Amino acid sequence: MTSLSYEAVARFAQQGGLIYFAAIFIAGLIYALWPSHKEAFDRLAHLPLDKDESDHV
């Protein structure tokens, strides 16, 4: 019977966290760069520059 050492568990957690972070990052990047989302992101990028404040209330 083998027992897991602290180093083995820590290494597994670090590698799992890295893979999880990379997957979430890549998914977010794909979502942000998807061509069908361009119009929405362009509109949202100009939202702070709008002078008409009646739309924001």
d(CA 15, CA 19): 6
Which letter does DSSP use for residue 53 in this model? G
In a domain, 43, yes or no: yes
Establish if 16 belongs to a structural domain: yes
As for how many domains the chain has, the answer is 1
29 in a structural domain: yes
Structure tokens at 38: 């361009």
Please say whether the beta carbons of 33 and 27 come within 8 A: no
Q: What is the pLDDT of residue 54?
A: 61
pTM given for the model: 0.64
Digit-coded pLDDT (tens) for 9-56: 999 999 999 999 999 999 999 999 999 999 999 999 998 888 776 655
Long-range contacts of 39-45 (CB under 8 A, 24+ apart): none
Q: Would you say residue 56 lies in a domain?
A: no
Domain assignment of residue 57, yes or no: no
Q: Which domain holds residue 33?
A: 7-48
Q: How many H helices and E strands in the chain? A: 2, 0
Is 55 within a domain? no
